[in-house]
């Protein structure tokens, strides 16, 4: 009962209450809903802590057993604990991690270049894919490529410099055929989300029962 039925009832009661909040303009309901929203923020925050602790646990196990790439995992653990320790010291001494601090220094000079460069690698992959994979094998693929080419030329100022019609054509493609295609997908997805939301609230789908 507690293991399987209780979560279903919790989802239903909380879900139904949060939906009813939008139909009932009653101060008490709004107050309770507001407090439940606070609880959500806090539980999500604790879930993040759970995720980070799990990363530590998994990698500590590999290092302890001298598993594959254990040296790199050790670097991961050291950098994680180092960043955490710096943050804790800042919070204790300065009560805040904002402003000029060692924590922000590490964010600027370690985290930022790593994060930015990881994503910038994608430019090379798209260049490689442009040569190897983007082939007009049939008429529909050709439509895709031509639309992409017009947008690529029209969206940069060089396109406007070559001929003023290029940005206009690109903007028209984005504003009408593209918008129509995207809207069809948005409406379809919205119908799916509404249906799935109802199924989850009424306990027909129970994603929280997977796993443990």
Q: Is the dihedral of CA 17, 23, 25, 26 positive or negative?
A: negative
Q: Alpha helices, DSSP H only, in 94-178?
A: 102-106, 112-120, 122-132, 139-154, 157-162, 165-173
> Which residue, 16 or 26, has its beta carbon nearer to other proteins?
16
Among 53, 58, 64, 204, binds other proteins (CB under 8 A): 53
Residue 158 touches other proteins, criterion: CB under 8 A:
yes
The distance of closest approach from Cβ of residue 24 to other proteins in the complex, given in angstroms and rounded to an integer, is: 13
Residue 157 interacting with other proteins (CB under 8 A):
yes
Near other proteins in 62-101, by CB under 8 A: 69, 72-73, 75-84, 86-88, 91, 95-99
By CB under 8 A, the count of residues binding other proteins is 151
Q: Which of 26, 38, 58, 67 binds other proteins (CB under 8 A)?
A: 38
Q: Sort 29 into a burial class: Cβ within 10 Å, 0-12 / 13-18 / 19+.
A: middle
Instruction: Please identify which residue in 26, 58, 145, 204 interacts with other proteins, judged by CB under 8 A.
Output: 145
**Nearest CB to other proteins, comparing residues 49 and 66:** 49
Instruction: Count helices and strands (H / E) in the chain.
Output: 10, 0
The structure tokens listed for 144 are 């895709």
Of the candidate residues 1, 25, 27, 57, the single one contacting other proteins (CB under 8 A): 57
Distance CA 28, CA 35 (A): 11
């Amino acid at each position: 009962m507690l293991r399987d039925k209780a979560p279903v009832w919790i989802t239903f009661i909380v879900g139904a209450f949060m939906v009813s909040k939008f139909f009932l303009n009653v101060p008490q309901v709004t107050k309770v809903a507001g407090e439940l929203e606070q609880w959500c923020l806090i539980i999500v925050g604790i879930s993040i802590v759970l995720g980070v602790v799990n990363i530590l646990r998994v990698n500590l196990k590999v290092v302890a057993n001298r598993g594959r790439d254990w040296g790199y995992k050790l670097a991961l653990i050291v950098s994680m604990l180092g960043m955490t320790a710096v943050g804790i010291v800042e919070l204790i001494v300065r009560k805040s991690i904002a402003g000029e601090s060692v924590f922000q220094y590490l964010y600027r000079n370690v985290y930022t270049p790593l994060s930015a460069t990881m994503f910038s690698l994608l430019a090379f992959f798209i260049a490689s894919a442009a040569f190897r994979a983007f082939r007009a094998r049939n008429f529909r693929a050709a439509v895709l490529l031509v639309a992409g080419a017009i947008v690529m030329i029209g969206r940069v100022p060089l396109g406007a410099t070559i001929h003023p019609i290029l940005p206009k054509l690109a903007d028209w493609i984005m504003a009408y055929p593209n918008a129509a295609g995207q809207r069809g997908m948005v409406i379809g997805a919205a119908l799916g989300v509404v249906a799935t939301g109802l199924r989850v609230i009424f306990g027909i789908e129970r994603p929280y029962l997977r796993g443990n």
